[in-house]
Amino acid sequence: MTGHYTYRLTEEIARWAFEIHIQSCKDWVIAFTNPTAGPWKRLTGLDKNGTTGEVHRFEREEDRPDLVLVSDRNKIIIIIEAKDLIQKLTAEAQIVKSVAVIHSLAKILRTKADNSFWENRSDYMIIAGLLWGAEIKSTDAERRAIFSAYKKALSFNKTENLATLILGIESYRDADSISCGAYLSENGRLNGGLTAAELLASLRLKAKS
């Protein structure tokens, strides 16, 4: 993403940069996006004929995630919470809110097997994602802190099929370009057997260190 404009790296722009990146990934689709100041939205899926339809409609005042991604090939759903700065994601009130949103949607999606636009996706593994903007790259200490805080706050249980791995995405602005990099709370295999490296490859992201 390039340009010659003066702008501040807002949450919206950080998320938008990642959405553009995801559109180049053949294994993933955006099931939901939550634009700032946008109207309340619906989460969508594809039926067997490739038709898009409603899976869940958020209430106007309902807390909702910032982005939801689905991969039928990998049988994974990523529920993403986003802020313009990593520090905002680690605020205590934000952790409580984000964790509640992730758990709430995970439970809802597990009940949608009878929806023709969702069906067996109700059994997909769910990964919690955290996305932030950065004009100065995050430090290892900041990333360890955010992963530790969310791992303590999240409940990993079979009912919600939530993976223990947490995906961190940094939309880093360098002059006139924004690049997306990934950080993982852990390596190895996910609950469903997919490796962390395979997950990142399907997202066309390189693990940063």
Q: Is 14 helix (H, G, I), strand (E, B) or coil?
A: helix
Q: What is the CA angle 183-84-34, rounded to 5?
A: 95
pTM of the model: 0.93
Token digits for 179? 């690049």
Measured distance CA(58)–CA(200) in Å, rounded = 29
Confidence of residue 38 (pLDDT cuts 50, 70, 90): low
Measured distance CA(131)–CA(168) in Å, rounded = 6
Higher pLDDT: 164 or 68? It is 68
CA 75 → CA 72, 96, 120, 127, 197, distances in Å?
5, 27, 9, 11, 16
Instruction: Kindly report, residue by residue over 177-188, the tens digit of the pLDDT.
Output: 999 999 999 887
**CA-closest candidate to residue 147, choices 162, 169, 125:** 169
β-strand partners of 172: 134, 179
Instruction: Kindly report, residue by residue over 183-202, the tens digit of the pLDDT.
Output: 999 887 876 678 888 999 99
**All domains in the chain, ordered by first residue:** 11-202 (3.40.1350)
**CA-closest candidate to residue 66, choices 45, 78, 87, 81:** 81
Average pLDDT in the 47-61 region?
Answer: 93
The CB density around residue 195, as the number of other CB atoms within 10 Å, is: 12
| 104 burial type by CB count under 10 A (0-12 exposed, 13-18 middle, 19+ buried) | middle
Measured distance CA(140)–CA(144) in Å, rounded = 6
pLDDT for 191 equals 64
State how far Cα 18 lies from the chain centre: 10
Instruction: Kindly report, residue by residue over 88-142, the tens digit of the pLDDT.
Output: 999 999 999 999 999 999 999 999 999 999 999 999 999 999 999 999 999 999 9
Residue with tokens 């998320």: 15
